[in-house]
Chains A and B, each alone.
Chain A
Amino acid sequence: MSDLVMETAELRKSFKGHPALNGLDLKVPRGSIFGFLGRNGAGKTTTIKILMGMSKADGGSARLFGMPVSDPGTGIKARRRIGFVSEDKELYPYMSVEQVIRFTRPFFPKWRSDLEQRYLKMFDLPPKKKIPALSKGMRSKLMLLLAISRGAELLILDEPTDGLDPAAVEDVLRELVAIAGSEGITIFFSSHQLAEVEQIADYVTIVDHGKAIVGDSLDDLKARYRRLHIVFESEPGTPFRWAEGVECLHQEGRSISILASRNVEELIEQARSVPGASVEEFPVSLKEIFLEHVRSN
């Protein structure tokens, strides 16, 4: 059995000539919590729709559980093993909470009634209430209940905490971590909320203009990336030729700020070789990595 539950290679998609995905490569390991980060329009939802068989790629490949999603037959098999929360959180307006649960249950042979009951209670969802009478936050919770209760091996969540209040966000994130740990479920979620991703993700991919620009385990990213503040005695006259690993560089007078993704020691040595230069090294947050990459892309 493959260690990857989801894989895309050179995935391409355009809308009226505008590229939405521009050769996207993704590898989602089994059992991981995978954060899929990007600005609005970066290609997150397009990727998810292709994976779910709602949209077709123009090129490249996408596989779920080792099966190509472009084949309708294997797509159905794959969807039986997936819990899904869409970006819009829309459900059938003529159904009540209990009706939509009753409707969804028979499609999934591994439906978890224990989880259904648990989340009904935890999310305080009123069974008799019609969908239009629910707030956006309540609809998000109901979508999560429907996704988790499918007994899925993979949860694909498009902005799952959208519309939730901070307390509910905490509850949901805690539950996602718990369910990933206890049930061995892989969670693939897209988000704008960097703090959320940093809080729960094992792996992160940052996508911009339809291409993965950063992708690694969160621990490795944090271990590799460093911010270097270098202050020279006088403003450097000629542009400095830095060693490899500089992702972004900002110069203001005598001081230079560098975001480095590798060769940090070499870069420090290089800076210190300039007489009178002082160098400080700082760890960086996911937010800094995201913003620097996205701004410079």
Chain B
Amino acid sequence: MLWTKAWLEMRWRLLFGLGLPLALVLLMSAPRNRPAMAGIVFLLMFDAVHLAGSGITTQSGNLRRGRGLHGSTLFTLSLPVSRLRLLAVRIGVGMAATAAVIAIIICTVWLKFPTVRGDSTAADLFKLVVAAIVCNACFHLVSVLFATFLDETWQLFGCALAIFPAWWIVGRLSLPPSENIFAFLGKASPLVTHAFPWPAMAISVAASAILFFAALKVVQNREY
């Protein structure tokens, strides 16, 4: 039932997070728009995928629904469920929703825009979707960590303040694209390389695990 609850809490946000970029992509995919819009649509896909990945679309780390520190949290905490399970379910539903947004947007763009598709195959598309989901997991966990101690309004700022400096620093490290977790839609994209960016995916998984344990620690020590 916790899955249902998490789904009910994020469904409208998810619908908006998926619906808006998807509508724009479809609008721009009209034959007369296609050549001129290819660059814009790529940027749109880039933004939509990253926004979804950073949890903004789903707010899945948020255990504190309702007004202020209370809301319905006390009722949830009175249930015979561990805080680990509460957090894991929220993250699980959030990740699933995020994966859906990423997959739908990337597939739509790939299908509708030949310039983005290039000479890539369906297998390359599959690799891109998987790479995007895995590389985005750490951004999602950043949002989860912030959601454990910040109110909803401040979570967006928190995520932005953490992710943009990281993007800036990683950009200046001269890493090979396959090791750059921000490059899965660019130079390390499987649509170009025809391969998974394994190092970047491994870095993301490791960072996600660290962020998950940090979030869990905060949630377990938190007083309501």
Contacts and interface: CB of A to CB of B under 8 A. Distances in A.
Interface string A65-93: 00000001000110110101011101111
B132 to A, nearest CB: 29
B175 interface: no
Contact of A55 (B8, B81, B224): B224
Interface of B: 1, 4-5, 8-9, 65-67, 70-75, 77-83, 220, 223-224
Contacts, number: 69
Given A76-B82, A94-B8, 18 more contacts: A52-B77, A53-B77, A56-B223, A79-B78, A80-B80, A84-B75, A84-B78, A86-B78, A90-B70, A90-B74, A92-B65, A92-B75, A93-B72, A95-B8, A103-B1, A104-B79, A107-B79, A107-B81
Nearest to B223: A55
Contacts of B73: 90
A92 to B, nearest CB: 5
Contacts of B220: 72
Q: Classify the interface of chain B: helix, strand, loop or mixed.
A: loop
B157 to A, nearest CB: 25
Interface in A30-68: 49, 52-56
Contacts of A49: 74, 223-224
Nearest to B9: A94
Given A90-B72, A94-B8, A106-B1, A76 B66 contact: no
Contact of B78 (A72, A77, A82, A95): A82
A108 interface: yes
A144 to B, nearest CB: 13
A55 B220 CA distance: 10
- How many interface residues does chain A have, given as a range? 20 to 34
18 contacts: A49-B223, A52-B74, A54-B78, A54-B224, A55-B223, A55-B224, A86-B75, A88-B74, A90-B73, A90-B74, A92-B5, A92-B8, A92-B75, A102-B1, A103-B1, A103-B4, A104-B1, A107-B81
A107 B80 contact: yes
Interface of A: 49, 52-56, 72, 76-77, 79-80, 82, 84, 86-88, 90-95, 102-104, 106-108, 143
A145 to B, nearest CB: 13
A76 B8 contact: no
Nearest to A76: B80
B6 to A, nearest CB: 11
Contacts of B78: 52, 54, 79, 82, 84, 86
Contacts of A93: 66, 72
B79 A79 contact: yes
A103 B5 contact: yes
B86 to A, nearest CB: 11
A93 B75 CA distance: 12
B75 to A, nearest CB: 6
A272 B78 CA distance: 56
A88 B79 contact: no
A54 B74 contact: yes
Kindly list the 3 A-B residue pairs having the minimum CB-CB distance in the complex, ordered from nearest: A84-B78, A80-B80, A86-B74
B180 to A, nearest CB: 39
A90 B5 CA distance: 15
